């Protein structure tokens, strides 16, 4: 079936430009073009749409208002912003509303890639079981203010390590949580890190965003330890997976940005467990018992008992928060990478491998799932011959950290 994409822009010449630029996609996409928010909502109420791509600055109904309505009335539609310039206030308001951001002028290839990868996310967002479970969750954690401020700062032209460091420092609680996290022995820094600015300098701006989210989530759920589940162990597992994923990415010669995404996806890959644990504590304990007794992967027990897995819930949340698709995909499919429609090595590859290597080489996991490598996927992306070398890399990181 063709993907249905709706483009919204008040400027007719922009719509005409898009139509011309994307003409080669006609066989794969059913493309529609409207010139206002009201027309877009009217279209959505009459026809099925998979993906909406909208401008932000429009008279009467702007992009923020349009996407707010789309989010509540048509939550299954993927929301992409194609915006003229970085209007800080608007971007701040839309962080939670959009799944992806594109900046005009945007090359056709970039639009095609973004829409295609957003489409693979639809599978998660459209899963009725995930949706109904999320609707039973009273308090889906929201993005911390400091995170939004950091994202805004990073989108500005004069962004600097010092400014981002200062922003984090100004939030005393957040700053303490970030320092606690990066000073954990699992992070592998030999010297004590004493300020957020130093942390930003060492980790890089993008990675700091992932670390902010992680420390926020672990802090929000800090009272959720149960007889069966150790938050501390989950945190060390997540950090090690992030480090191994980054090492795998470097070894596979991925570019700098992708290497950072591998780290972020690694550190966040199991966050769905926290959400399940916090909202369905009794059931989650039953799930853990079930996976131990029947010797099956935790995610299989989750699927059997709750109908959804921690990978789907985590990916859904990150999707709602506007994380890049490659990170959402890595989280969603870290146990089942062969379901990905994308070819080639990606954050999904790095996180899948890192998760398995960490499970194999750190014997701490009475409450984590056991699972093996997906040989079919590894063969498909051409990594079979390098797998032993990559595993040694992962094992070395585990050995150095645990010893
Ligand atoms: Fe997992
Ligand atoms: Fe994991």
Supply φ then ψ for residue 127, to 5 degrees. -65, 115
Distance 269 CA to ligand 2 centre (A): 6
Examine residue 242 and state whether it is found in any structural domain, yes or no: yes
Q: Which tokens go with 325? A: 């698709």
Instruction: Give the model's pLDDT for residue 331.
Output: 93
* pLDDT score recorded for residue 373: 93
The CA dihedral of 213, 217, 222, 223, to the nearest 10 degrees, is 170
Residues 203 and 252 in one domain: yes
Q: 101 with 160, same domain? A: no
Q: How far is the CA of 146 from the centre of ligand 2 (A)?
A: 27
Looking at the predicted structure, is the pLDDT value of residue 36 above 90? yes
Chosen domain end from 126, 157, 173: 126
In a domain, 139, yes or no: no
- How many angstroms separate the alpha carbon of residue 382 from the centre of ligand 1? 23
Domain holding 103, by residue range, is 3-126
Q: 18 and 83: one domain?
A: yes
Which ranges of 188-230 does DSSP label H, i.e. alpha helix? 196-203, 205-220
State yes or no: pLDDT of 133 exceeds 90.
no
**How far, in Å, is the centroid of ligand 2 from the Cα of 177?**
22
Q: State how beta strands 78-83 and 3-8 pair.
A: unpaired
What is the 268 CA–ligand 2 centroid distance (Å)?
Answer: 9
Residue 118: Cβ-neighbour burial (10 angstroms; 0-12, 13-18, 19+): buried
Mean pLDDT of 72-83: 84
- Interstrand relation of 51-54 and 78-83 (parallel, antiparallel or unpaired): parallel
Q: Is residue 364 part of a domain?
A: yes
Q: Is the pLDDT of residue 74 over 50?
A: yes
Residues 391 and 263 in one domain: yes
For the stretch 332-363, pLDDT in tens is 999 999 988 778 899 999 999 999 999 888 86
Cα of 235 vs centre of ligand 2, distance in Å, is 10
* Domain co-membership, 153 together with 296: yes
Same domain (yes/no): 119, 150: no
Residue 200 in any domain: the answer is yes
My answer on whether 113 and 166 are in the same domain is no
Of residues 288, 320, 316, the one with CA closest to residue 302:
288
The CA 370 to ligand 2 mean position distance, Å, reads: 9
271 contacts 314 by C-beta, under 8 angstroms = yes
**In a shared domain, residues 223 and 368:** yes
Residue in 49, 101, 100 with CA at minimum distance from that of residue 73: 49
Please give the distance, rounded to the nearest whole angstrom, from the Cα atom of residue 312 to the centre of ligand 1.
Answer: 10
| Mean pLDDT within 365-371 | 55
Task: Specify whether the CB–CB gap between 327 and 343 falls below 8 A.
Answer: no
Q: Report the range of poorest mean pLDDT among 75-79, 222-226, 313-317.
A: 222-226
Question: Contact, 267 vs 214, CB < 8 A?
Answer: yes
For the chain, the average pLDDT equals 85
Q: What percent of the chain has pLDDT over 70?
A: 88
**Domain end position, chosen among 99, 126, 153:** 126
26 token code pair: 């006609």
Q: What pLDDT does residue 41 have? A: 97
Higher pLDDT: 153 or 224? It is: 153
pLDDT tens string 218-260: 887 777 777 778 888 888 899 999 999 999 999 999 998 899 9
User: Ligand 2 centre and the CA of 95: distance in Å?
Assistant: 27
Given a cut of 80, whether residue 365 has pLDDT beyond it is no
Q: What mean pLDDT is predicted for residues 254-267?
A: 92
Strands of the sheet containing 78-83, edge to edge, are 29-34, 3-8, 51-54, 78-83, 100-103
Q: Which ligand does the CA of 310 lie closest to?
A: 1
pLDDT at 78 over 80: yes
pLDDT confidence of residue 363: 65
In the chain, % of residues over pLDDT 90: 36
Distance 369 CA to ligand 1 centre (A): 7
Identify whether residues 66 and 118 lie together within a single domain: yes
Ligand 1: centre distance to CA 27 (Å) = 37
Name the 3-class secondary structure at 388.
helix
Q: What pLDDT digit, counting tens, does each position of 188-209 carry? A: 888 888 899 999 988 888 888 8
Residue 226 placed within a domain: yes
Helix (H, G, I), strand (E, B) or coil at 34: strand
Which ligand has the nearest atom to the CA of 359? 2
Q: Is a pLDDT exceeding 70 seen at residue 316?
A: yes
Choose between 382 and 306: higher pLDDT.
382
Secondary structure of the chain in the HEC alphabet?
CCEEEEEECCCHHHHHHHHHHCHHHCCCEEEEEECCHHHHHHHHHHCCCCEEEECCCCCCCCHHHHHHHHHHHCCCCEEEEEECCCCHHHHHHHCCCCCEEEECCCCHHHHHHHHHHHHHHHHHHCCHHHHHHHHHCCCCCCCCHHHHHHHHHHHCCCCCHHHHHHHHHHCHHHHHHHHHHHCCHHHCCCCCCCCHHHHHHHHCHHHHHHHHHHHHHHHHCCCCCCCCCCHHHHHHHHHHHHHHHHHHHHHCCCCHHHHHHHHHHHHHCCHHHHHHHHHCHHHHHHHHHHHHHCCCCHHHHHHHHHCCCHHHHHHHHHHHCCCCHHHHHHHHCCCCHHHCCCCCCCHHHHHHHHHHHHHHHCCCCCCCCCCCCCHHHHHHCCCHHHHHHHHHHHHHHHHHHHC
Q: Are residues 85 and 155 in the same domain?
A: no
Tokens of 232: 């501390």
What is the band of 183 on the pLDDT scale with cuts at 50, 70, 90?
confident
Residue 346 belongs to a domain: yes
Is residue 172's pLDDT more than 80?
Answer: yes
Spacing, Cα 274 to ligand 2 middle (Å):
12
pLDDT at position 118 over 70? yes
Q: Which residues have their alpha-adjacent CB atom under 5 A from ion ligand 1?
A: 270
Comparing C-alpha atoms, which of 379, 319, 284 is closest to residue 97?
A: 319
C-alpha 377 to ligand 2 mean position (Å):
18
* Number of domains the chain is built from: 2
- pLDDT for 121 equals 65
Contacts of residue 217, defined as CB under 8 A and 6 or more positions apart, other chains included, come to 141, 271, 274
390 within some domain: yes
Q: Residue 369 falls within a domain, yes or no?
A: yes
Contact between 346 and 330 under an 8 Å Cβ cutoff? The reply is yes
Question: Is 44 a residue whose pLDDT tops 90?
Answer: yes
Q: Do residues 197 and 336 share a domain? A: yes
For residues 185 and 197, which has the higher predicted lDDT (pLDDT)? Answer: 197
The Cα–Cα gap between 130 and 132 comes to: 6
CATH number, domain at 36? 3.40.50.2300
Residue 50 CA, ligand 2 centroid: distance in Å: 30
More confident residue, 355 or 371: 355
Q: How many Cβ atoms are within 10 Å of 294's Cβ, its own excluded?
A: 10
- Of the pLDDT bands very low, low, confident and very high (cuts 50, 70, 90), residue 367 is very low
Among 264-268, 322-326, 396-400, name the one with the lowest average pLDDT.
Answer: 322-326
Which ligand neighbours the alpha carbon of 356 most closely?
2
CATH at 328: 1.10.3210.10
Let me know: does 163 contact 154? Beta carbons within 8 Å. no
Would you state the pLDDT for residue 244? 96
75 in the same domain as 161: no
Output the pLDDT for position 345. 92
């Amino acid at each position: 079936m063709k993907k249905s994409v709706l483009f919204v822009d008040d400027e007719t010449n922009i719509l005409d430009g898009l139509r011309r630029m994307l003409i080669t996609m006609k066989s794969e996409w059913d493309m529609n073009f409207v010139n206002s928010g009201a027309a877009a909502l009217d279209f959505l109420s009459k026809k099925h749409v998979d993906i909406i791509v909208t401008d932000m600055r429009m008279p009467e109904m702007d992009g923020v208002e349009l996407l707010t309505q789309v989010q509540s009335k048509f939550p299954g539609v993927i929301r992409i912003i194609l915006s003229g310039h970085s209007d800080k206030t608007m971007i701040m308001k839309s962080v939670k509303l959009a799944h992806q951001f594109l900046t005009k002028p945007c090359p056709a290839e970039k639009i095609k890639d973004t829409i295609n990868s957003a489409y693979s996310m639809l599978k998660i967002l459209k899963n009725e079981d995930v949706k109904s479970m999320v609707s039973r969750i009273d308090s889906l954690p929201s993005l911390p203010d400091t995170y939004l401020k950091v994202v805004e700062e990073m989108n500005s032209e004069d962004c600097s390590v010092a400014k981002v460091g200062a922003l984090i420092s100004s939030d005393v609680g957040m700053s303490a949580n970030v320092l606690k996290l990066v000073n954990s022995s699992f992070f592998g820094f030999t010297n004590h890190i004493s300020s957020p600015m130093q942390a930003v300098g060492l980790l890089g701006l993008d990675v700091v965003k992932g670390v902010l989210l992680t420390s926020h989530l672990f802090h929000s759920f800090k009272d959720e330890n149960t007889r069966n589940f150790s938050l501390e162990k989950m945190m060390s597992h997540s950090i090690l997976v992030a480090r191994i994923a980054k090492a795998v990415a470097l070894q596979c010669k991925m570019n700098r940005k992708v290497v950072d995404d591998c780290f972020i996806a690694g550190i966040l890959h199991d966050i769905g467990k926290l959400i399940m644990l916090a909202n369905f504590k009794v059931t989650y304990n039953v799930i853990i018992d079930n996976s131990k007794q029947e010797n099956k992967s935790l995610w299989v027990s989750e699927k059997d008992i709750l109908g959804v897995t921690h990978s789907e819930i985590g990916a859904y949340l990150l999707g709602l928060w506007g994380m890049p698709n490659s990170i959402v995909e890595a989280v969603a499919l870290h146990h089942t990478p062969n379901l990905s429609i994308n070819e080639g090595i990606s954050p999904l590859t790095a996180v899948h491998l890192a998760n398995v290597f960490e499970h194999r080489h750190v014997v701490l996991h009475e409450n984590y799932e056991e699972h093996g490598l997906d040989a079919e996927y590894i063969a498909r992306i051409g990594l079979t011959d390098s797998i032993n070398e990559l595993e040694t890399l992962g094992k070395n990181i585990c050995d150095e950290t645990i010893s």
